[in-house]
Amino acid sequence: MPLDAPDKSKNPDYRDRFQISKQCATKKIIEVMTVEVVGIDESSSIEDTLELIGKYRFHNFPVVDKDYRLKGVIDQNIVLELLFHDRLPSSSHTHLTAVRSLGEDAKSIMIPHPLKVSRDTSLCEGVDMMLKHNINHVWVVDNDDKLIGVITKHDVINEAYRTRSKK
């Protein structure tokens, strides 16, 4: 902020313009989520999994079964551990990293039980999960646990901006 600019952050009216907590309670995840999600089949080989991850610039990939039910997630940390296992500090050599390094398919390297919500969850609940668990996204599933989308911090910030702009 320039030195001569007024500090608007002390003005309650200015701060209130950025608070959308009241509006997010009535907004549903399905209204804001991203529906174009690239899933990795749980039976995909490590080679195919790494190829898919290299093709798309996402930080996390959902792992799904043949019916597109959400089973787990593969994040960038797992990929780095696989690619650079020999460079891991000795304190990071755990049973889990050893098992993952021997994995043959996506299911064997994924993080099971990812955080997920239903399409009818309020946006506030999704934000609460992200803030509580310090994560950037939550997967969205239908009643049969089939993956239908993802809600990301970016989605939430865009919605907050759109909501604020309408005032």
Higher per-residue pLDDT: 13 or 70: 70
Give the pLDDT band of residue 68 (cuts 50, 70, 90): very high
Segment holding 56, helix H or strand E: none
Residue 57, pLDDT score: 83
Phi and psi at 130, nearest 5°, equal: -60, -45
Map out the domains of the chain with their CATH numbers: 27-165 (3.10.580.10)
pLDDT tens-digit readout, 75-128: 988 888 888 877 877 766 676 776 777 789 999 999 999 999 999 999 999 999
Whether 106 and 49 have beta carbons less than 8 Å apart is answered as: yes
The token pair at 144 is 């049969």
Burial 146-164 (b: 16+ CB within 10 A, else e): ebbbbbbeebbeebbeebe
pLDDT tens-digit readout, 12-59: 555 555 566 677 888 999 999 999 999 999 999 999 999 998 899 888
- pTM score of the predicted model: 0.80
Q: Is the pLDDT of residue 1 over 90?
A: no
Residue 134, pLDDT score: 94
Higher per-residue pLDDT: 7 or 139: 139
